[in-house]
Amino acid sequence: MTEHTTLTVRIGNGEETRRETLDRVRTLERGARLDDRYVLVLEDEADLQRLLSPANLGLLRAIRAHEPESMRAAADLVDRDFKEVHRNLTELETLNVVEFEERGRSKRPVVRFDEIDVEVSLTDDGDGSESVAP
């Protein structure tokens, strides 16, 4: 059975992720084994919105399912203009969700996750302080 890989996406300054990482280090120091964990902390909701746009999700799904050999092949998979797909893939690389493997003159887009789990706090802005609406 293949391993299922999840990317956890959070918004904020990463304080919760730092605390969890310290807990995981302590667990490892005690000799316990941990499952791999992948966490991406985005700066704000705008980054999350870009990540979860229908165009980007469609690209991520197509790349994960079909493993295209190039950006152009990815554009063909989703039946979209190459320039648009190039822009979306560059944006996804900036967000650290897509990686590129150099293949001669082309770049092969790679998605290493099977699913994205989004965690959004409604009680604070990620740094432990309460948000106050104007």
Q: Is the pLDDT of residue 129 over 60?
A: no
pLDDT confidence of residue 37: 65
pLDDT confidence of residue 36: 64
pLDDT confidence of residue 40: 86
Nearest-angstrom CA–CA distance, 75 and 81: 6
Asked if 110 contacts 98 with a C-beta cutoff of 8 angstroms, the reply is yes
Task: State the amino acid at position 117 in one-letter form.
Answer: D
Write the pLDDT tens digit of every residue in 63-91: 999 999 999 999 999 999 999 999 999 99
The pTM (predicted TM-score) of the whole model is 0.75
pLDDT confidence of residue 62: 97
Supply the DSSP symbol for 2.
P
pLDDT confidence of residue 100: 96
Q: Is the pLDDT of residue 121 over 60?
A: yes
The distance from CA 121 to its chain's CA centroid, rounded to whole angstroms, is 18
Write the pLDDT tens digit of every residue in 97-116: 999 999 888 899 999 999 99
Nearest-angstrom CA–CA distance, 80 and 86: 10
Task: State the amino acid at position 19 in one-letter form.
Answer: R
Asked if 48 contacts 9 with a C-beta cutoff of 8 angstroms, the reply is yes
Write the pLDDT tens digit of every residue in 30-67: 777 756 667 888 888 999 999 999 999 999 999 999 99
pLDDT confidence of residue 56: 96
Asked if 56 contacts 92 with a C-beta cutoff of 8 angstroms, the reply is yes
Q: Is the pLDDT of residue 132 over 80?
A: no
Q: Domains in the chain, please, with CATH? A: 6-119 (1.10.10.10)
